[in-house]
Chains A and B, each alone.
Chain A
Amino acid sequence: MAMDLKEIESLIKEALPDAKIEIQDLAGDGNHYSATVISSQFAGKSKIQQHKMVYSSLKGKMGNELHALAVKTKEK
């Protein structure tokens, strides 16, 4: 099971339209990614809440189709 980088990006973008997103395919296998997401919607939220927002944008794929996505969130 793998997921395309563009698909991850567009799912996050859909949920956080103002986000600046940088995604890297860490191993080149379509299975281990890192994402840096910068959005004004993170303002006033805890890290846990911010990461949950990214996870929920992926609609249940995290931990299933998507094995590994290292997430880094920043406020815009």
Chain B
Amino acid sequence: MDSQTNELIKNEIKSNEVCLFMKGTPDAPQCGFSMAVTNILKMLEVNFKGVNVLADQNLREGIKVFSDWPTIPQLYVKNEFIGGCDIVKEMYESGELAKLFEDNGIDFKKKN
């Protein structure tokens, strides 16, 4: 991975509390897995930055190396890699994801 891509990734996860590397954009996901994670974040009404890896081939490959994770989407919260689609889905269903946001002081919609 070139240093420019490395810097770009570091900068995105540092400046965005909730950052999703995805295929497409939050309004127009280009892959079912990216859409699934986007939908979960939207349901929880969390503000997040969607970074479209399809717009940059270096980023698309670089993020896999950076996280040591072979697939996209990838969710980062407060600089930390949380997981891909399967893990985020499981965490949403078990309530762990809401707890993670709560523990990190990130605004989201609590279920009543």
Contacts and interface: CB of A to CB of B under 8 A. Distances in A.
Nearest to A63: B70
Interface size class of A (residues with CB under 8 A): 10 to 19
Chain B interface bracket (under 10, 10 to 19, 20 to 34, 35 or more): 10 to 19
B70 A70 contact: no
B71 A47 contact: no
A51 B87 contact: yes
Contacts of A70: 85-86
A43 B96 CA distance: 19
B81 A72 contact: no
A41 to B, nearest CB: 18
Nearest to B33: A68
Interface string B74-103: 000000011111110011000000000000
B68 interface: yes
Interface of B: 33, 64, 68-71, 81-87, 90-91
8 contacts: A47-B91, A48-B81, A48-B83, A48-B87, A52-B69, A55-B69, A62-B70, A62-B71
